[in-house]
Amino acid sequence: MAEASANFQYSTPLGISTTPIPGVLVLNLTVHADNRGWFKENWQRAKMLQLGMPDFKPVQNNISFNKEIGVTRGIHAEPWDKFISVATGRVFGAWVDLREGPTFGTVFTRIIDPNIAVYVPHSVGNAYQTLEPETAYTYLVNAHWSPRAKYTFLNLADETVGIQWPIPLSDAILSEKDKGHPRLADVKPLVPKRKRVLVTGSGGQLGRALLDQLPQADFDVVGVDLKELNIADPTQVAAFDWSSIDIIINAAAWTNVDGAESPEGRPAAWAANATGPANLARAAAEHDLTLVHVSSEYTFDGTKAPHTESEPPSPLGVYGQSKAGGDAAVAACPKHFLVRTSWVVGDGHNFVRTMAGLAANSGRPHVVDDQIGRLTFTPDLAAGIIHLLTTHQRWGTYNLSNEGDPMSWAEVARNVYELTGHDPQAVTPVRTAEYFAHKDAAPRPLDSTLDLSKIEATGYHPVEAKTRLQEYLKAMKGHA
């Protein structure tokens, strides 16, 4: 039998890390000690949510007291989420993914002492073995226990998952019921509940990409445009049935940068880009939904590139001002991702398609060469948003564009000409002041480059813009 030990860490910073089982998270808790003993915040919602912990809303706290070393319980997959820790003692914890999908049967093990907590989502099998006498195993759950609840079980000795128990099961203390659970081959994989996503602006370039990718990532998706839901109308937003929605992705926006400067365009831009997001933020807060809002590098004046997530807004024109207003409203929503992007290219009208059309018709465009930035292709933008949602990242702002060296609009145009088999010298570079002389045009940031280090630190690495540009043009040619 293992000997008792209390060699856990004191005063370690609160932290969170992922595991091989999607959604299973390990939390390092801060334990404060003195000559009287120790104290810890075992569950601290505000701090843990900031680190990326799901807001799973526990409703019941259970404690299992285990008198002896070697008490072994499980493997049980339950119809609720759990937050596991120990009040006293130490256990060896084991978790097996019993959900349908590519990670079915994946195992994760970890010793839990008072320094450690583990978040276990619905339908992941969990078990533990006590390593010290008089261990108090405690767990929060987000549904009340019911004798009618349906469990799924896996045998503790299953050879396929091959858990290496510190105390052999032949020497451990098990219930007869746990001894009789089925092997993995006889376990029917559990179908996890799919989260439902509402995509506003679903007919736009990003909206189309989201509607294509979200179902592949196991989300149920509903798309709406202005005719189904005018997000700028607070009455419509308040009357919308949010009961079956878990996540809102706001891809709706007024994107006519020059038109926003007109007497008619100014209120329209503010309605779509500021009032609409504010209404969605209010609904998300009231109904405990996650809100993903897509913003723009036009919230900056272009003088401090590469622009970081912490840079304060400094918009030059009405479009950028309206986007900054929407950003401020979204930031007040408790569960939000504000995704800032630039130079979007997707299925629809955009600069790349315009240049490809001019090239095909022997056009000789004048294109500005003193505005630089990175293209963002909607499949990568959609994939990045899904990454934030599925990997439980911390709420807040994330820059997201394609990677690579920044280019000017003129460089992009010349690349389009060259990749489509036309003379890149047909593109004449001009300065912004020259191009917009005698035109009613909005001011534009000269450097739109976004710093991508924050999202790349989460494990998402966008493909280089030049690679995507080549693929995009090749696909255009294939559909011509």
Domains of the chain in sequence order: 15-186 (2.60.120.10), 195-478 (3.40.50.720)
Asked whether the predicted pLDDT for residue 76 surpasses 70, the reply is yes
**CA distance linking residue 32 with residue 45, whole number of Å:** 18
**For residue 454, which phi and psi values (nearest 5 degrees)?**
-70, -50
Q: What percent of the chain has pLDDT over 70?
A: 97
Of 136-150, 194-208, 357-371, the least confident: 136-150
**CA distance linking residue 4 with residue 270, whole number of Å:** 64
Tell me what the mean pLDDT of segment 277-303 comes to: 96
Question: What mean pLDDT is reported for the chain?
Answer: 93
pLDDT (0 to 100) of residue 325: 97
More confident residue, 208 or 190: 208
pLDDT (0 to 100) of residue 480: 59
Q: Is 39 exposed, middle or buried (0-12, 13-18, 19+ CB in 10 A)?
A: exposed
pLDDT (0 to 100) of residue 368: 96
HEC secondary structure over the chain: CCCCCCCCCCCCCCEEEECCCCCCEEEECCEEEECCEEEECCCCHHHHHHCCCCCCCCCEEEEEEECCCCEEEEEEECCCCEEEEEEECCEEEEEEECECCCCCCCEEEEEECCCEEEEECCCEEEEEEECCCCEEEEEEECCCCCCCCCCEECCCCCCCCCCCCCCCCCCCECCHHHHCCCCHHHCCCECCCCEEEEEECCCCHHHHHHHHHCHHHCEEEEEECCCCCCCCCHHHHHHCCCCCCCEEEECCCCCCCCHHHCCCHHHHHHHHHHHHHHHHHHHHHHHCCEEEEEEEHHHCCCCCCCECCCCCCCCCCHHHHHHHHHHHHHHCCCCEEEEEECCEECCCCCHHHHHHHHHHCCCCCEEECCCEECCEEHHHHHHHHHHHHHCCCCCEEEECCCECCCEEHHHHHHHHHHHCCCCHHHCEEECHHHHCCCCCCCCCCCECCECCHHHHHCCCCCCEHHHHHHHHHHHHHHCC
pLDDT (0 to 100) of residue 467: 97
pLDDT (0 to 100) of residue 1: 36
Contacts of 88 (CB under 8 A, 6+ apart): 114, 134, 135, 136
Give the active site residues: 76, 139
Asked whether the predicted pLDDT for residue 167 surpasses 60, the reply is yes
Tell me what the mean pLDDT of segment 337-348 comes to: 96
Nearest to 368 by CA among 336, 412, 302: 412
Asked whether the predicted pLDDT for residue 5 surpasses 70, the reply is no
Q: What percent of the chain has pLDDT over 90?
A: 85
Asked whether the predicted pLDDT for residue 3 surpasses 50, the reply is no
Asked whether the predicted pLDDT for residue 369 surpasses 50, the reply is yes
**For residue 122, which phi and psi values (nearest 5 degrees)?**
-40, 130
Asked whether the predicted pLDDT for residue 8 surpasses 80, the reply is no
Tell me what the mean pLDDT of segment 237-262 comes to: 94
**Residue 6 pLDDT grade (very low, low, confident, very high; cuts 50, 70, 90):** low
pLDDT (0 to 100) of residue 270: 97
pLDDT 10s digits, 404-431: 999 999 999 999 999 999 999 999 999 9
pLDDT (0 to 100) of residue 4: 38
Torsion of CA 381, 383, 389, 392, to 10 degrees: -110
61, 63, 177, 296, 301 from 145: Cα distances, Å: 10, 13, 19, 46, 55
